[in-house]
Amino acid sequence: MPLPNDEKLIALSEEVLKQLQAMFGPHPGFRPVHAKGILLTGTFTPSSAAASLTRAQHAVQASTPVTVRFSDSTGVPLIPDNDPHADPRGMAIRFNLAEHVHTDIVAHSANGFPATTGQEFLEFLRGVAQSDPAKVQAFVGSHPKALAFVQAITPLPASFAKEKYFGLTAMKFTNKDGVSRYGRYTIVPEAGEEHLDAATAAAKGPDYLFNELNERLAKGPIKFKITVQVAEDGDVVNDATVHWPAERKVVELGTIALTSTVANHAHEQKRIIFDPIPRLDGIEPSDDPLLELRAAVYLISGRRRRAAPEQ
């Protein structure tokens, strides 16, 4: 995908990347956030209800190969899995539709985001990067969106496979009859959710989530259901910080079954650049101002990651 032809957007993206590097240090070849991760492969099978929501290719064909990346937060490649800063966890899904044709979902384990716009997000990063913990606490306490985000972060998970993930930005889903509705993804673990108390988490090893995932894969597929909460008229669809009422309709899009890790793993992790904008018929982005910024940040940092020497 090409970079957008918007000088202000590119400049803001560079400022975000500069701030992230100031927070986590330079780590060539790794992502500026969610640096520590693992790539898995599997299959997506749509539900019987999927086509009623969208005519997107993966919702109407029998199955689609997927690549999924689970990750810890921060830009530190060796962050311990039980470090409190390793939350929220990430889950990114690539639907491989044809050679060089794909669409992605980018989600994380906190049902919230600290900012509505890119400038607000940059302000948040600068606010929480202050060296004085009291100033950080004061910043979060005086910014309701940041406070809501921090409060939405769940305790450390027992497994990547026992965590729920949220695609926070709304998308516009259109079915074969031309009926369009906005919705948000939630990715639900078939194994159920499980989180650890502080003492149990502290006793875990630095790679416990990654080791547990490999052990779980050896026993059989890891499964998640992808669901979409559907907005109603009047719901805010361009602000990732605004939640919709819990009683809104939820449509099951389908099931992911993950069966193995990706071959040539380190190289493929470095190469893949996820895109928060769907870019396919049947699913369009909303007017959420964060989408274009995130896409630009991912692309700029991804190109730099690919250009870095192999580790």
The residue ranges of DSSP E strands in the chain, in sequence order, are 37-46, 64-71, 90-98, 101-108, 165-166, 171-174, 180-189, 222-230, 250-261, 283-285
Which residues participate in catalysis according to the annotation? 34
Burial 162-190 (b: 16+ CB within 10 A, else e): bbbbbbbbbbbbbbeeeeebbbbbbbbbe
28 touches 308 (CB < 8 A) = yes
* Number of neighbours of residue 218 by Cβ within 10 angstroms: 8
Two tokens at 159?
């497994």
Which of 233, 275, 288, 282 is CA-nearest to residue 3? 275
